Structure 1
Amino acid sequence: MNTNWNIKTLIEAVGYAALIAIFAAMSLYMSSGMILSMFLCTVLLVVLIVRIDEIAAVFAVIVSYILVFIITDDFLTSAIIISRFCFPGLALGWGFKRKKDFRSLFVLSSSAYLFNLLLVIFLANKIYDVNLINQFILDPIEKMFTQIKESEDIAKLFGRGSIDITVLDELKDTISFFVPGFLLLAASFSGFLMLMFTKFILNRLKYDYSYLPMFSQLKVGRTTVAVFVLSFLISRIITNSVISAALLNIAFILSAVLNICGLSVIDFFLKRYGIPGIVRVIIYIIGLNITMFVGLLIPIIHPFYILAVLALADSIFDFRKLGK
């Protein structure tokens, strides 16, 4: 990391730091645009590291924290806001600067988001005595199941005069088992989106990251498939509830990977026929909404099942080669 800190480099670093600080401060006044602001801050931080170095990025983070702290006058709120882009930006920037492979970049990005998520949960619990997992996940689930128990319309929908409370309690407990998997999945999904979006921006800025796969080239490995199948099957056989829950969480997370790779197969063939990217996105949104609605009536054709099966089949037959 031998950056020649001349006047031009210094001005550029200050400019990026100012932009990052402004977007971070804007997130305080744009609740609907907070996610976009954090994405922009992360991308700018990555670009700053790639163009200059990590020292400039740390400088930008410090400036952003000072500005947000001046506005909020709350060190914890300021730390939480900055951490949303600080850890992913620094992790991805470090990886892109050294041209790490796709798997390493994905692990870096996902781990950064997971660390940030766990840090926010920990700080909220220790300082404000607020359990975010209960507040945003478990309590809404409890409320939903309470309403279901009291709803005659739902009972009639299943052709019954009443709902079996024991079955509902078992279902609620099963859903609660997936909380760790949900947190990991949320972090992984955020890390994946940030990785793909940042790669797109860097390529547009004429940085060569063509060695990284495009979305249409993503393919699930046979080892991943084997782990998914074994985790699911063993979780259905084993009687130990703790081990079963852990295996179900693994299968749950890997099912999301299968869904992404299944969609990647479809994207490959649509792209091959010359359909533009924005049109493909619209097709996916419409298709997922329609199939999810139909999947409520006919579960076997739910898009999550179809995409997972498609990814499993692709790991065996490699449809991309067959389609050439």
Structure 2
Amino acid sequence: MKIKLQPGGDDLVKNRLLSYLNSQLPLKISDVIPIRDHVFLVRTARMYFILKSFESLYRLNLQKAYTASLRKAGFKHSYSFCPFDAKPLYFKNNFYGCLEYITPHRASFTFHTERDRREGLELLKQYHSVSSTLTNSYSSLLPKANLLQKWEDRLALFSSNLKIVNSFVQVSMTHEIISWANYAMEGLKAELNEKDPPVILHGDVAHHNFIRAYNGQLYLIDFDLISMGPRSFDYLQYANRILPFIDWSLEGLSELQTLEGFLKDKAFLYGLVFPADILREWNRIIRENSRLSSSYVNQVVQLTAVQFQERKAFIKKLKDKIDQQ
């Protein structure tokens, strides 16, 4: 998998982790390189692997079981857990698992290209086809996706911090953004009917969870947010992620065969109206107290303000389409 290494770091913690791994694993560990918080690239004389923390032993074991179930059921386009960590690794109040390192292709997966957007969607479709066969085995172990509650909470947090957001974005814009959210929520409450057979949702179909391997094959990674629900929830998130890269074109979405049927569903259309990305990113700034990071804030301001008119025209088309159904 393609990774961004963090230079420097706490050498004392790193050295302790290196010592701990060498005492617990049947491998000679030569280096431990931080990728992000509690995720490391580990190097041995013969191989690399990823060391990742989990909030509990239960979550670690669930991830091990689920990725093994996916592979057994025929979905091979993801990582496996390495077989050499038979007993749990526990370091500085965190449980860790050892994941297969997917050697990256020189050309990373990106939503910028039509080829990658289509291939990512096709891989997600394959994943759902397999995960739908595992629902009986995992229904008692996974939460049910509650999109309405998730978005209500997101909107409430955004609304409670408007004073901060409006120091970067015009009040008229945030007022309209909230009106879009309220319109979408009212429509979803009326139209959302989870009658389709459930699948195990991925839950985070951001571009960084699609990895193009050195052999050109595409892989889907990171199942931390899996839940039970209709596959439309994943496709809704995927559509929201790619819209900025297709100029907020409803016609562009319609050209994606997997999404074509969903665009005839009122609930899906209402979901596309909801400004999930804007609310998510501003809430993250506020939650992580990172609004003083100018580069990150500038990206979110661009997402909010620079694309505002394109998004507004897109939402008008969605409303017209909803009214016609």
TM-score, normalised relative to structure 2: 0.31
| Higher-strand-fraction structure | 2
Counting helix residues as a fraction of each chain, which structure ranks higher?
1
Compare relative contact order (CA 8 Å, sep 6+) and give the higher one, 1 or 2: 2
**TM-score normalized with structure 1 length:** 0.31
